[in-house]
Amino acid sequence: MINLEVPKKARALVNQAYQAAAEVFRPISRKYDRAEHEYPTELDMFAALLDGLNSSGEGGAGAAGVRRDDKDKSKGNRNGANLNVALGTIEMCWGDVALLLSMPRQGLGNAAIASVANAEQLKRFEKTWAAMAITEPGCGSDSAAITTTARLDGDEYVLNGEKIFVTAGERADSVVVWATLDRSKGRAAIKSFVVEKGTPGFEVVRLEHKLGIRASDTAVLRFDNCRVPKENLLGSPEVDTKSSFAGVMQTFDNTRPLVAAMAVGVARAALEETRRILGEAGVTIDYDRPAQTQHAAAATFLQLEADYEAAYLLTLESAWMADNRQPNSLQASMAKAKAGRSVVDITLRCVELAGTLGYTEESLLEKWSRDAKILDIFEGTQQIQQLIVARRLLGKTSAELK
């Protein structure tokens, strides 16, 4: 059974992540929000730090994978890499979510590699910084509608297509690209490929200007007869219509809890800042009195804090299940849906509670409210998560419940 306390062995990691967020991320947060597309050079030293944590076996605030083929069948609870990563991510995003997304070798593509790559690929790509390219101009929430193609030609796959809204698409060393081997076979033919920067036919078309997470680059990528070694296909090249595209979808079992953790970190930051502002204004938040008997601002704060706690616990549950080799697709979507919706509501309401302080750049509250919206969109929108949860709970297929 999951223990709701932070595991003892993770406390040192949580403290390290918090110190990094407080001492480095927070002080430069506003700087790189204003300097969109400028690479935060202060982050380079953290890549080495996290590499050391990961190689020591302690895990870090970076990308881990949900792997079902481990031979460790030991009984009892396991608090492993996935829970550690979630806890570390919460702390780092308390500092700045865009700066975490900008950290070398901690991309969402790294989570895809960690989840579905074989042993040889894990070793070969262990030092790469991988972005993840799924969304296309005509394909957003429905990943099965991907039109980017991959055709086997000798010892190479030839990729053709365009990807949009790729986080770290310009800065990363490589990109995990979702493409179809045969469009006539639907979902089952969708595979993921590691495409390294500098590969002929791979072009970064442009960078997007965004509402939030402005310190993180978001790119449009084009693949024009881009040839990659067939060994760069992650997982099995076989098209199995019975298992559909469960292999590549397994990636989401890991990345959705991570995005939920990002949302939890931003929400906590907003709540802590709002508590400070309310305290300075003389508003007392009393946990021993009913909300309706307190100041209206205190009652609203208590409601928001309860929402935060629910998102936090769902996030930890989905990560804990992955560590304990339990299928967590339902819980991952529940955590992502709850945290994504909550962080948007919490940050906007905190801006309201803070009044003029919340709306100006005197506080980071207005920035957090802008950063929050993407956390309800990427890795599957709010509406898609609710649809997935409904299918799981009702036992319906995607064809039966659209």
Catalytic choice (91, 305, 366, 379): 379
Residue count (the chain): 402
Q: How far is the C-alpha of 10 from the C-alpha of 37, rounded, in Å?
A: 33
* CB neighbour list of residue 105: distance below 8 Å, 6 or more residues apart: 47, 50, 51, 62, 63, 127, 128, 129
Distance CA 192, CA 150 (A): 10
Inter-residue contact 284 to 296 (CB < 8 Å) = no
379 is catalytic: yes
Question: For 27, which DSSP code?
Answer: H
> Residue 168 burial by CB count (10 A; 0-12/13-18/19+): exposed, middle or buried?
buried
Q: How many beta carbons lie within 10 A of that of residue 84, not counting itself? A: 26
DSSP reduced 3-state for 159: strand
With b for 16 or more beta-carbon neighbours within 10 A and e for fewer, the 212-245 pattern comes to bbbbbbbbbbbbeebbbeeebbbbeeebeeeebb
Interatomic CA distance for residues 267 and 345, integer angstroms: 9
* Residues forming the active site: 379
